Amino acid sequence: MDENESKDGSYKLDLNPDQKINITQIGNVKNIILSINASLINTITFFRCKIIKKMMAIKRDQKEAKALILNFYSN
């Protein structure tokens, strides 16, 4: 047990000796932050995939349009 740790698992903070913080609260905040990070990564990845698919569709449409124009003028 740490000198700043009390029996209930809380810690005294250096800035305010009377203030305590429970180590499980730190763990909960860490888990929330990790969860938010994972959500953001999933969201960014999802939108990136959507953008890439849209760009590929535009590129495909441009090729098809170019082929139609060339076919039209070659006849």
Is residue 63 one of the residues assigned to a domain? yes
Is residue 59 one of the residues assigned to a domain? yes
9 φ, ψ (degrees, to nearest 5): 90, 5
Is residue 4 one of the residues assigned to a domain? no
Total domains present in the chain: 1
Is residue 1 one of the residues assigned to a domain? no
- Residue 9 is predicted with a pLDDT of 61
pLDDT in tens, 36-67: 888 888 888 888 889 999 999 999 999 888 88
Lookup: tokens for 22: 């429970």
Asked if 22 and 30 count as a contact pair (C-beta separation under 8 A), the reply is no
DSSP 30: H
Asked if 67 and 75 count as a contact pair (C-beta separation under 8 A), the reply is no
Which residue did the predictor score with more confidence, 38 or 28?
38
**Structure pTM?**
0.44
Domain extent for 67: 10-74
Q: What percent of the chain has pLDDT over 90?
A: 3
Half-sphere exposure in the Cβ direction for 45 (13 Å, CA): 6
Amino acid at 34: L
